[in-house]
C-alpha cells in the first residue's frame, strides 16, 4: 500500500504506523510505546514525529498530535528510536504516569541503565528529580502508581517481595500491609480467583493484611484509591489495632512495625 506519495508499506502494517507515515512522519511517543507493550496512562491520540523543516504535509488528522523535532532515525524509518519516544512521552504525561512508563520500558528491557541515563540527559533539568523514583522491578504501571501514592503518604513500599508460603506480592508496605494490583486480564477466571484467596489466607495466617485494588480504580479513580490507602495505613496498622483492641502489650511481631500514622508529603 502507499499511504503517502513515495512511501510504501506492507498491507499488514499496524494502522497507527500507516497513519503516522500518511501524516508525513513516524510513529512516536506514547503511541509507539503502547504498540510495544509499554504502560502509558489513558487512551491517547496518535503521536507522530515530524521533521521541523518538512513541507507539503497533509492536513493534520483530527486528534493527531504532531511533534515537530529532529530524529536520529533513518530517513526511511517508520518509527522513532525507543529512547526518543520515551523522552517525548515523559514530556507528554504527568510526572507519575511518566515514571510508570519508564518503569515499564525498563522492566520489559526495551532500555537499560545506559538508556535511562540517555533519556534524562536529553530532558530538561527539572525532570531529573524523577530519576530517583524509578524502579524496574514494577511488573505493571498500576504497581508504580500505587507505589508513588504510598510514598506520598509517608509509607515505605517494597516491590515484588517474596513471602514464605505466599509467594511474590506486588507491594509490601511497612512490613505488614500487602497491596495487590488486580486487573481483569490476569484475575478474571475462577482458578486465579481461588489462588488469590488462598494466598490471602496464607498471608493472614502470618499476620499480614491484604488490600486488593482494581486497576481501573487506580487509573480512573486515583483520589478514591489514595483515600483508601490513607485510611488503611492509619486505622489498619498493627499499632492502631492494638489500641482499638484495648491491649497494652504488643506482640513481638508488632514491636518491629512502625507505630506512627503516615504523614503526607507533596513529593509528586
CA atoms within 13 A on the CB side of 139: 13
> Which candidate, 149, 44, 47, places its Cα nearest to that of 95?
149
Q: Which three cell numbers stand for residue 22?
A: 500518511
Strand order in the sheet with 47-50: 26-27, 47-50, 65-68
Which residue in 21, 26, 28 sits closest to 2, CA to CA? 21
Q: Residue 52: what pLDDT?
A: 87
Residues of the chain with pLDDT under 70: 43, 62, 185-188, 241-242, 244-268
What 8-state DSSP symbol labels residue 172?
E
Q: What is the pLDDT of residues 31-54, one digit of tens each?
A: 999 999 999 987 678 999 989 887
141-255 has which fold? Endonuclease; Chain A (3.40.960)
**Cell digits of residue 76:** 526511511
Contact 38, 105 (CB under 8 A): yes
Query: Tell me, what's the pLDDT at 76?
Result: 86
pLDDT at position 7: 80
At 107 the pLDDT is: 97
Q: How many other CB atoms are found less than 10 A from the CB of residue 141? A: 24
Q: Determine phi and psi for 163, rounding to 5 degrees.
A: -115, 130
The Cα–Cα gap between 189 and 166 comes to: 20
How high is the pLDDT of residue 187? 55
Cα within 13 Å of Cα(63), Cβ side: 7
Domain residues of the chain, as ranges? 15-133, 141-255
Amino acid at each position: 500500500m502507499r499511504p503517502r506519495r513515495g512511501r510504501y508499506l506492507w498491507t499488514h502494517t499496524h494502522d497507527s504506523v500507516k497513519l503516522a507515515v500518511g501524516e508525513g512522519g513516524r510513529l512516536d511517543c506514547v503511541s509507539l510505546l503502547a504498540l510495544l507493550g509499554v504502560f502509558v496512562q489513558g487512551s491517547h491520540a496518535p503521536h507522530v514525529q515530524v521533521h521541523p523543516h518538512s513541507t507539503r504535509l497533509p492536513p493534520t488528522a483530527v486528534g493527531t498530535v504532531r511533534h515537530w523535532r529532529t530524529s536520529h532515525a533513518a530517513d526511511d524509518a517508520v518509527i522513532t528510536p525507543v529512547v526518543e519516544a520515551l523522552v517525548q512521552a515523559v514530556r507528554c504525561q504527568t510526572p507519575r504516569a511518566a515514571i510508570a512508563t519508564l518503569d515499564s520500558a525498563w522492566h520489559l528491557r526495551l532500555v537499560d541503565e545506559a538508556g535511562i541515563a540517555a533519556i534524562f540527559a536529553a530532558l530538561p533539568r527539572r525532570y531529573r528529580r524523577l530519576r530517583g523514583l524509578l524502579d524496574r522491578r514494577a511488573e505493571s504501571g498500576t504497581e508504580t502508581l500505587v507505589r508513588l501514592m504510598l510514598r506520598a503518604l509517608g509509607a515505605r513500599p517494597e516491590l515484588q517481595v517474596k513471602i514464605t508460603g505466599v509467594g511474590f506480592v506486588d507491594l509490601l508496605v511497612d512490613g505488614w500491609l500487602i497491596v495487590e494490583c488486580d486487573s481483569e486480564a490476569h484475575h478474571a477466571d475462577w482458578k486465579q480467583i481461588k489462588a488469590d484467596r488462598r494466598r490471602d489466607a496464607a498471608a493472614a495466617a502470618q499476620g499480614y493484611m491484604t488490600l486488593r485494588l482494581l486497576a481501573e480504580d487506580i487509573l480512573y479513580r486515583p483520589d478514591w484509591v489514595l483515600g483508601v490507602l490513607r485510611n488503611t495505613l492509619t486505622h489498619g496498622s498493627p499499632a492502631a489495632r492494638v489500641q482499638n483492641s484495648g491491649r497494652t502489650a504488643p506482640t513481638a511481631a508488632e514491636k518491629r512495625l512502625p507505630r506512627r500514622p503516615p504523614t503526607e508529603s507533596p513529593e509528586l
